[in-house]
Structures are given as C-alpha cells and as structure tokens.
Chains A and B, each alone.
Chain A
C-alpha cells in the first residue's frame, strides 16, 4: 500500500474531497463571477483555521465572549420521563442565544486574515443575522444582512437587534421573500461587490463553505466528548439528536462522532403540517438530487427542477435544501433522519419549559420532539443539541398557549 493510500484510508469518510464532494454531494456550482472569491477562500481556509494565531484568537473569544464551554446538562426530569439519560448541550446559553455565533466569530476572523472589511450575510429567523452583526460590531466591520421581506415582518425583534448593532438590513423582495431568497440576494450582491466577504450561516453553499462552517461548529462535539467523559466516564453517547434546516448545529454536534459507528446520529427535520401535507420542510423525505446556492445536495423541487418553497413554523428550518454533508449522511445511512411537525415541536417546547424550566428555540424543539418516538433501551445515553433559546419565538409560543 502506498503512503497516499494509507493516508487516504485514515481520512474520515465524512470529510469532503479536494473538489468539495461528500460522496456525490457538494461541489461549487457558482457562476464564473464568483470564482475568484470562492477560490481565494478555498486556497486559504484550512491554513487559516489550523494556524496557531487563529486558534488562539478563536478559542479565547469563544471562552470569554461567547461563554464557552456551553454546559452539558443532565435533564433529570426529562430523563425520567423517557427512560434514558438525556443530556442537553446548552448552545442556548451562548452569547446571542444560539450556536450560530461559533461560526460567525470564526468566519469574521477568516475574513480579517483575508483583508476583508465588509461582511454580508443572509438570515431567515434572524439568528445568524444577529450573530453576524454582533461580531461585526465587536470587530468594527461593516455589516449588511439580507433578509426576506416576509421574515422581516415575522421577526421584528431580531431586525431591531441587528439595526441596534449597526448592521444594514436589506429586504429580499424576490421570489417567496424568505431565507432562500435572502440567500439569492446575498449571492447577487456578492457578485456585484466582490470585495465583500460572504459569511454564510449554515453548512450550505459552494465548497469550501460547508466544510468551513462544519469545522467551526465542531467545537460542540469536541466539548461533548470531554464533558460526557467527566460525567459518565465515557466519551461516546449512544445517541445524538439535533435538528436540521441547513444543518449547522447538527454538523457541529455530529462532527467528532461521524466515524464512530457505535454512536447513533439522529437528524430531525421540520415536518411542518405533516410530511405529506404539501406544507413541510422535510427535505430528505421530499427532495431529490439538485443544486441550490452552489451546492449539489438533496433539494425540494418540482419535476422541472424549479425549487419548491418549504414550510415550517420555524423560520430557521424552512430551507428547501440541506447541507451536502447531511445529504451524504442520509444517503449513506450513517445518520437517521426523522421529522417533527409544528404541533409536535410546540408540545416539546412546552414540555421542556414546564419540567426543566428551559424555553428552547422552536428549531431546537424539533429535536426534542422525537424523544417520545424513540424506544430507548435501559441506561441509554442521549445527547440532544439544544441549539438555541426561545426568546425569539415567544409570540408563537404565546399564541399556542391555550392549545
């Protein structure tokens, strides 16, 4: 066996190849106009991420600014109810209230190393927009966030936060005026302003974004490993559960466990009103191979390849695609893909609030919502990634208080 061959075999199956492919998924399907930008990033991102200077700055900010490590909390009452040891990875306790900031801090540092001073981002519910605006305020960078006109109306508090943080919020007026269109508009702006750095919020987009974002979110599973060892004596849980829209919090929670076959990975998509209702965002169940935002992945589309608008009560999960890593985890059957409806997510959110005193984000509530659907064996150790807190969803929660 040649050295190259040995090295190749040692490499994780779940890392992209040199062209950004996870199996048949990934790549960089971008117009020539974006080639220099994406190429610049591709040529430099690993070197930057692995440099001592970056690691020092990134880790110090995660510790002192974000408040990491985020606790791994044994939810005793929840555990008792479902007959398993259920640990919550408390990403909701991060500064800005979700896992998104792990990525924005990392990418802003990358942007600075590349000499970029203007940041653009897309946002759906506004969590990534807020996390981007926050780090831009911290670093003194100009920040422009694209957000669907419909989402701007639905998520007023986050729009106000971004503005207070000094970001410019540009409404996306095209298409369905939600996350997909905000991303389109951000890409179009990037084409016209190639000096800007596009800070993508999930493990989506052209290579190297999915890999870069996954590496920046990998801190979640890195911490789970040592935290779980401290608590149980073992690094590996039996099961990890995370919600998936684009898939960044799941990518982070799965990252260091992907090659450990004994760890069961469960991805939970938004079922909306039900997978077969026509109002759903369960991409793996409803999608087929297709290209969105520069990546070949599983995509919700009609028979002519027109992208279909997904639906979910959660603005952070209604993306018609899924990151290419997740498409591969699904296709290779490494991860199990479940889904939870709006109603199941609401019920789970109320349950966690009432028995643990934690109000989860609607997105994270989808991950919790599959607990009743799984038959746990005795002493099963389960980690649920609690990706965000529920403050932003209060109006939705209050509306359903009576139900």
Chain B
C-alpha cells in the first residue's frame, strides 16, 4: 500500500504543473505563483510528501483543487454509480461465462464448444470503446433506451463492461474443468460406481473452482478501476469518469485519492481470495 501511495505521489508531481493548469491561460506569472503558494506546491518535495502521508494517516485526504470540496465526498458521490455498473457487469460475466465454459468443457470438440470458444475469444479481443459504441447504436436503434427505466439504463453499459471478462471466465472455466475431468480421481470415482451427477457436483466442480476463485478475485479487485473507458463512452457519472476528468485538469488530491482507493480494493480483494483459498483447499491449511 505504501508503495502504491508513494508511486502515485511521485508520478503526479512529475506529470505537470497543476497551478498552470488551474490558472486561466492568459494569467501572468504572478498569478500562477500565487496559486502555487496557495496550494502548498512551493514547499520542497519531501515536505509535501510527509505532509501528504500525515494527512492520510489522520484520514485527511485533501481537497479538490477545482471545487474545493473534500475529495472523499466527491468520490463517495460517484461510487454508487460505478458499483452499480461494475457489480451488474460482474454478475453478467460470471453467470454467463462460467456456465458457458463448463458447458463447452463437457461437450468438448463439439460444434457448440467451438462456437462458445470462438465467441469468448471475440469477446475478449473486442476493445471496450468499440463494443460500447455498438451497444449505444443497438440501444438507440432497436430498444429506444431513453424510455427505459433504471434497470435498462445500466444494462447496456454493464454488458459492454462484462463482455471481456465473460470471455475470460468462459475460457478459464472450460480449461480448468477439462483438467479436472481428466484427473485420476475422477476416473477412480467412476470405477467406484459413483454416479455422473455426483461426480460432477462433489468432485469435479469444487476442484475446478479453485483456479476460478483467483480470476473472480482479480475482477472484483478491478471493480472500481475497470470501468474508465465504458463510463466515458456511456457518459456514466461514475468514478472512472471522475478520474479521467481529474487527470486532465491535474486535480492532484482527487487523482491521488482515486488511485489510492483502487489499490485498496485490489489489495483487499486479493486478501479475501487468499482467505477463501484456506476455506476451499485443505492442502493450503497449515496445522
């Protein structure tokens, strides 16, 4: 976390002068200097850095350079939109991708398998912005999305966002189930007379789920950060859009806070996955 915090700090300081960006383009040097002093940017870097760290520990995240409001307030305003979008997308990709992958694995080599795998490669390779534009087109032409309610509003951006991870979920669950199906213990279970549905339910699926948990963790970790492009395309008032705007206007405190929250979710998601592993896989548990 500290590394993430420091990197964010360093990169932002070197990326340009926020005071110059904030001041009107025809402002004189004096005005810019005044801004610089007001924002505390004239102090030496190390002092800025320690002040920043001190603030973090005390829960002081700073104020937006533009609106002057506390960054966490702005962030929390935007967060529900992003979560709404991200979680919907996550569930779409999970509940479409995993069954598709499992289905393809069980019918390996069939035409259906080929269709599913072809689709998932396509979904994975399709750039977000392109698919987003397509979705807008479809929504506008055939569904008249502007008349739809809340649910319909979130559906199209969520499908756009979920498509890529749906593809990777499908491929991943297919390959992990295939590996498990051919494991010796599946053979042995068959030789012990265990019926097909029991073999699948109690032997194959739990084992196939282990690698999937990692993937689920990764995509949950990217919940906040993953939707930058999609939010731009759909003009979705979420964190991603906020991030893009803050970067463009060199809103230091805002960018710092967003990147910080993103890395925080990543780390937390990974921690949760590791704990979940302990629960699923007895081989990891230590006496």
Do they bind each other?
no
